[in-house]
Amino acid sequence: MQISEEDATELYNICKNITIPLQQYKKYEHTTECRGGRAKQFGNHRAALLGYTLARFKPRSIGHQLSYFSKKHPRLYECLVNISKKYFPEHNWKTIQLNHNVVCTPHIDKYNNGKSIIFSVGDYTGCNLCIETTEGIEEIDIRNKITSFEGARYRHWNTPLISGDKYSFVFYA
């Protein structure tokens, strides 16, 4: 299913006017410890979580709370909620992964439950989604196109970003 040009343009314009945090891989000099999660696998990249996430510095018993980035950028969060209601109202997501010009290596999202919804907006070339299933590898251009797949079941990655500005959104539970 395609996202309308109007919705894609609105979302792209919102994203262009905010700063998405840089996720960095840090290896400490005097220890073997590392910090950076996905940055270790994908390299330094710009990404943020929206929607409901486990609190980072609070006891997990508190449960899921609206993310800091959602509160900081309510217009972006509201736009994404409206898109989800309009295009995939039956999907029960909790969290949205926002990526800016991220090129992912092959991986499985081991903590995702059920199907993930992914799409992207922007003015870019390349960076197609690849999903490895039992039938082979499927390459999909997700620009303005809603795609559903099981990220915890199938290895997936994207092709190199040749040029431009890409924002991708993954809705998952």
pLDDT score recorded for residue 31 = 44
Where on the phi/psi map is residue 111: left (φ > 0), alpha (ψ -120 to 50), or beta? alpha
> What does the pLDDT read at residue 111?
84
110 to each of 6, 29, 113, 151, 154, how far by Cα in Å?
Answer: 34, 30, 8, 8, 10
Do 117 and 91 form a contact (C-beta atoms < 8 A)? Answer: yes
Residue-level pLDDT, tens digit, the chain, 173 residues: 999 999 999 999 999 999 998 877 555 455 444 444 444 455 567 899 999 987 665 565 566 789 999 999 999 999 999 999 999 999 999 999 999 999 988 999 988 899 999 999 999 999 999 999 999 999 999 999 999 999 999 999 999 999 999 999 999 99
Q: First vs last Cα of the chain: how many Å apart?
A: 21
The predicted pLDDT at position 60 comes to: 58
Other CB atoms within a 10 A radius of the CB of residue 142 amount to: 18
SS3 label, residue 19: coil
The partner residues of 10 in beta bridges, in order of sequence, read none
At 133 the pLDDT is: 93
- 151/138 Cα distance (integer angstroms): 14
Beta strands in 22-154 (DSSP E): 22-23, 26-27, 34-35, 45-54, 64-66, 95-100, 116-126, 129-133, 136-140, 147-149
